[in-house]
């Protein structure tokens, strides 16, 4: 029986390995992590991440051919294929801080693999890493290798999106495997291909050289984020001209060369990947003497920051240029619907902006806990994936924040409602009831374009929806944005 071990039981390691176990009953899969609470949660009824369909997959194979353990060294030593799916956050200190990927976790995993291995291994980069990381990993694995072990490194980046991870894993657009162009490298690629071939059609399994696979992951995320920044840039122009961004996106996306996906204007993209990976790409370009290319990609992140700031300015300027002491309901805190993940969520920047103007926030999200929200609001930029850097919570800011478990409670007596995550339940709320219980004038700022603007205006709300023709009220009070 082939034995797989995956280091890192996070958003990628957990679901990816659960899918492999489900589709390959002849393979034993062990997911290991240094975090005891995370592994305990994977072994419990309450999994550590919320992802539609994940519970069923895990329940179908846990303790049969899928195991979760903190005994990292034992399972790595026993495995034929070791996936490394640890976090690769943005560096917060030292050379490349604020841009480069922090490979501390990756390097320590690689050193451990080298130390405990007693048999040949295929080591698979599952984490998103800078191009050429495999070369460094090879050096770490083969350095001090007096046991004659054959290590083959493969790059097999993951393309799943949160909220649809199970669907994405079950029917991937493609699986990408990069390896060395040597007999040993080709054999390793074939071995990993055989795992995916259990359920992925062969024409969807792409094989390339190592560097193409590593770079394709960064490129794919940069292209996706670029589409969002492009439509968000258009949304600002729509507001100034009276065009409607949804109509523009529809018309543009009808061109089959462009396509309709990923053209939803929003308060900004979030998530643990887009910003981190683009900044990493920018850093790599700079290091390779390509400042113009670096500058080009940097703009994607800058437009995203602009979009979040622009949203806050709209809120404050529409409400007579001050939100001091005003209750504002924040509906949604996760970075997108159908996940409890808050990493780099635009909600953090919007809340910071409003708290800076002394607003009183009442936040509701169906999947994010109060503890998580308060941790996020207390953290410095980029610190979320570096637990050792967490700052003490700021009691002043927290006096301005309350977290509630119902959208009606959040909006009661509020001056304004901000929709930050596109949860389906926000489309079905009784907005007449919400309006009746709010201060007047009652404002709605829809950062996801999920609500019907005309129906809300009929109820009496002053409405701002990203990239839609402005309410005369908002237009009259607009400052330069």
Query: Catalytic site residues?
Result: 273
Nearer to ligand UDX, 278 or 359 (CB): 278
Contact region with ligand NAD (CB under 6 A), list: 155-163, 180-188, 280-288, 352-360: 155-163
Segment contacting ligand UDX by CB under 6 A, of 80-88, 138-146, 271-279, 397-405: 271-279
Tell me which stretch binds ligand UDX (CB under 6 A): 74-82, 266-274, 354-362, 408-416: 266-274
* Residue 408 backbone phi and psi in degrees, to 5: -70, -35
| Least separation in angstroms between CB 249 and ligand UDX | 8
Report if residue 342 touches ligand UDX, rule: CB under 6 A: no
The answer to whether 280 contacts ligand NAD (rule: CB under 6 A) is no
13 binds, among ligand UDX, ligand NAD, none (CB under 5 to 8 A by kind): ligand NAD
Contact flag: residue 77 with ligand NAD (CB under 6 A): no
Task: Among 111, 159, 253, 374, indicate the residue that binds ligand UDX (CB under 6 A).
Answer: 159
* Cis amide linkage into residue 412, ω under 30° from 0: no
Rule CB under 6 A: say whether 2 interacts with ligand NAD. no
Contacts (CB under 6 A) with ligand NAD, residues 385-444: none
Among 66, 131, 160, 418, binds ligand NAD (CB under 6 A): 160
Single out the residue of 127, 216, 232, 318 in contact with ligand NAD (rule: CB under 6 A): 127
Q: How far apart are CA 21 and CA 209, in angstroms?
A: 27
Identify the CA nearest to 89 among candidates 435, 421, 384.
Answer: 384
Q: Is 376 in the site for ligand NAD (CB under 6 A)?
A: no
Residue 302, number of CB atoms within 10 A of its CB: 12
Q: Is 264 in the site for ligand UDX (CB under 6 A)?
A: yes
155 binds ligand NAD (CB under 6 A): no
- Binding of ligand UDX at residue 348 (CB under 6 A)? no
CA dihedral sign, ordered 274, 276, 281, 286: positive
Interaction of residue 228 with ligand UDX, rule CB under 6 A = yes
219 binds, among ligand NAD, ligand UDX, none (CB under 5 to 8 A by kind): none
**Separation of alpha carbons 82 and 141, rounded Å:** 13
The only residue of 28, 65, 90, 128 in contact with ligand NAD, by rule CB under 6 A: 128
For the segment 31-60, give every residue that binds ligand NAD (CB under 6 A): 32-35, 38
Q: Is residue 88 involved in binding ligand NAD (CB under 6 A)? A: yes
Tokens standing for 13?
A: 């390691």
| Distance separating alpha carbons of residues 461 and 113, to the nearest angstrom | 59
Q: Is 13 in the site for ligand NAD (CB under 6 A)?
A: yes
336 scored as a contact of ligand UDX (CB under 6 A): yes
Task: Give the torsion through C-alpha atoms of 326, 329, 330, 331, to 10 deg.
Answer: -170
Instruction: Output the six-digit token pair for 122.
Output: 């295929």
Please identify which residue in 266, 280, 362, 411 interacts with ligand UDX, judged by CB under 6 A.
266
Spatial contact of 355 and 385, defined as CB atoms under 8 Å apart:
no
| Contact flag: residue 340 with ligand UDX (CB under 6 A) | no
Q: Does 83 bind ligand NAD (CB under 6 A)?
A: no
Can you tell me which of 28, 155, 221, 226 binds ligand UDX, judged by CB under 6 A? 221
Instruction: Decide if residue 9 touches ligand NAD (CB under 6 A).
Output: yes
- From ligand NAD, ligand UDX, none, interface partner of 407 (C-beta below 5 to 8 A by class): none
**Binding status of residue 156 toward ligand NAD by CB under 6 A:** no
Question: In the set 5, 27, 86, 153, which binds ligand NAD (CB under 6 A)?
Answer: 86
**Position 366 contacts ligand NAD (CB under 6 A):** no
Alpha-carbon torsion angle 283, 289, 291, 296, nearest 10 = -70
Positions in the binding site for ligand UDX (CB under 6 A)? 158-162, 221, 224, 228, 262-264, 266, 269-271, 273-274, 335-336
Q: Which residues bind ligand NAD (CB under 6 A)?
A: 7-13, 32-35, 38, 72, 85-88, 105, 108-109, 127-128, 158, 160, 162, 272-273
């Amino acid at each position: 029986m082939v034995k797989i071990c995956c280091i890192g039981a996070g958003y990628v390691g957990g679901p990816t390995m659960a899918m492999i176990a489900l589709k390959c009953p002849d393979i034993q899969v062990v997911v290991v992590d240094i975090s005891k609470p995370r592994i305990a949660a994977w072994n419990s009824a309450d999994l550590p991440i919320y992802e539609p369909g994940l519970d069923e997959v895990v329940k179908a194979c846990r303790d049969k051919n899928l195991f979760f353990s903190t005994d990292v060294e034992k399972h790595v030593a026993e495995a034929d294929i070791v996936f490394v799916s640890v976090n690769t956050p943005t560096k917060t200190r030292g050379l490349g801080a604020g841009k480069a990927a922090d490979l501390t976790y990756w390097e320590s995993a690689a050193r451990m693999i080298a130390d405990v291995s007693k048999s040949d291994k295929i080591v698979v980069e599952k984490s998103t890493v800078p191009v050429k990381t495999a070369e460094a990993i090879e050096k770490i694995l083969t350095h001090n290798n007096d046991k004659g072990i054959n290590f083959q490194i493969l790059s097999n980046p993951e393309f799943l999106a949160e909220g649809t991870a199970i669907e994405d894993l079950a029917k991937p657009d493609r699986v990408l495997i990069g390896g060395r162009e040597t007999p040993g490298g080709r054999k390793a690629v074939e071995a990993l291909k055989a795992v995916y071939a259990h359920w992925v059609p062969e024409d969807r399994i792409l094989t390339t050289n190592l560097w193409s696979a590593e770079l394709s992951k960064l490129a794919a995320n940069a292209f996706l984020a670029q589409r969002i920044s492009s439509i968000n840039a258009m949304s600002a122009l729509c507001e100034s001209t009276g065009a409607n961004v949804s109509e523009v996106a529809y018309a543009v996306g009808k061109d089959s060369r462009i396509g309709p996906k990923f053209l939803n204007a929003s308060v900004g993209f979030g998530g643990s990947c887009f910003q981190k990976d683009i900044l990493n790409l920018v850093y790599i370009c700079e290091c390779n003497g390509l400042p113009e290319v670096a500058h080009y990609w940097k703009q994607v992140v800058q437009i995203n920051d602009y979009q979040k700031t622009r949203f806050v300015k709209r809120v404050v300027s529409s409400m007579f240029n001050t939100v001091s002491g005003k209750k504002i309901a924040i509906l949604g805190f996760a970075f997108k619907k159908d996940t409890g993940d808050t990493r780099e969520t635009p909600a953090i920047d919007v809340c910071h902006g409003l708290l800076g103007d002394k607003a009183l926030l009442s936040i509701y999200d169906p999947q994010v806990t109060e503890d998580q929200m308060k941790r996020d609001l207390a953290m410095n930029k980029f610190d979320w994936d570096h637990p050792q850097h967490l700052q003490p919570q700021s009691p002043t800011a927290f006096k301005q924040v309350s977290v509630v478990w119902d959208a009606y409670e959040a909006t009661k007596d509020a001056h304004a409602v901000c929709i930050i995550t596109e949860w389906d339940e926000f489309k079905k709320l009784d907005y007449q009831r919400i309006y009746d219980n709010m201060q007047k004038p009652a404002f709605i700022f829809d950062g996801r374009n999920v609500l019907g603007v005309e129906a809300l205006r009929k109820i009496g709300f002053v409405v701002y929806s990203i990239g839609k023709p402005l309410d005369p009220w908002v237009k009259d009070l607009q400052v330069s944005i």
